[in-house]
Amino acid sequence: MNTKTILVNTASYEKPRSKILIIYTGGTFGMAHDKDGVLIPFDFGLILEHLPTIRTMALELTVVSFDHPIDSSNINPAHWQLLAENIADHYNTHDGFVILHGTDTMAYTASALSFMLEGLAKPVILTGAQLPISEPRSDARENLITALEIASARKDNEAVVPEVCIYFDYELLRGNRSKKVESMQFDAFDSGNYPPLAKAGVKIDYNHSVIRKAEIHRGLHVHKSFDSGIAILKLFPGISQSIVESILKTPGLKAVILETYGSGNAPTLPWLIDAFAQAIQKEILVLNISQCPGGMVMQGRYETSRDLLRIGVISGADMTCEAAVTKLMILLGEHSPEKVRTLIGKPLAGELSV
């Protein structure tokens, strides 16, 4: 995968107040109509023509775009590695980062980057659009302009939001707490278990009490190893024994994310508990995540989760499935099964409550 770089100075003859790296991966945001009316990726060298308002922001922009923009449904860990490498390469010369990304897997990418960019002390803001920028009613313009404003926001010479976030429809959300919840409305994302970090109205109101504090002294360390030997098993009434057992016996399987009911409950079927117990004995990690968009797993609270606790299923507390998937991939890529069992239930980037 190759990228190309464009420099855009919106500060005219003045010194720019901030330097921001924009990374365009693809997605609905950057589509424009060609002379035949077909939607194609637009030239980011002409970004000031599409968004003349940016001229008033006094920013120096570096725009990096994938040579071949991709639909976010095709995003995979190799793309996350490329994004993290671009951020690392520009980290010392830029004040903030904006990633333009398709909405379908944006929460996965935001979650992955939150774990990959250890020691992050600058904003990484993912945004996109439900309608292409070429459409009259597009949400792309406001999303990008406000994302740039947040990425460049500083107080006492430090970034106001030094973490990986999603900005969409006037709300700034922690990236690894976010889920896509809507495909036909502009409010595409929600973070049911964590309050918004900011809301954009006439001015941007930051909720400073819920924003992570930067650990500037640590420096940026990028985690690049992934292991995708993971399965997601969603429980439902009438689930088949043969299907469950076939998944748990998949060659190369390292971990299973078990999507349970309510606060972590599962059927008390002997075969189901036995199947998970045998998998755990083979060092396959089983992580309990609730199917509910809000609330958290509380194993042992009800009889229907006591057996899971007894056999060694690990509680995922209030992690999203997106955060659980990406966190497991990175931990499995770097650590032994014993170490992963220790770290998976601990907050590494604000992804779960303790």
Scored b (16 or more CB within 10 A) or e, 182-205 reads: eeeebebbbbebbebbbebeeebe
Active-site pick, 10, 25, 28, 260:
28
**Known catalytic residue at 10:** no
Three-state secondary structure string covering the chain: CCEEEEEEECCCCCCCCEEEEEEECCCCCCEEECCCCCEEECCHHHHHHHCHHHHHHCEEEEEEEECCCCCHHHCCHHHHHHHHHHHHHHCCCCCEEEEECCCCCHHHHHHHHHHHEECCCCCEEEECCCCCCCCCCCCHHHHHHHHHHHHHCEECCEECCCCEEEEECCEEEEHHHCEECCCCCCCCEECCCCCCCEEECCCEEECHHHCCCCCHHHCCEECCCCCCCEEEEECCCCCCHHHHHHHHCCCCCCEEEEEEECCCECCCCHHHHHHHHHHHHCCCEEEEEECCCCCCCCCCCCHHHHHHHHHCCEECCCCCHHHHHHHHHHHHHHCCHHHHHHHCCCCCCCCCCC
Catalytic positions, written as ranges: 28
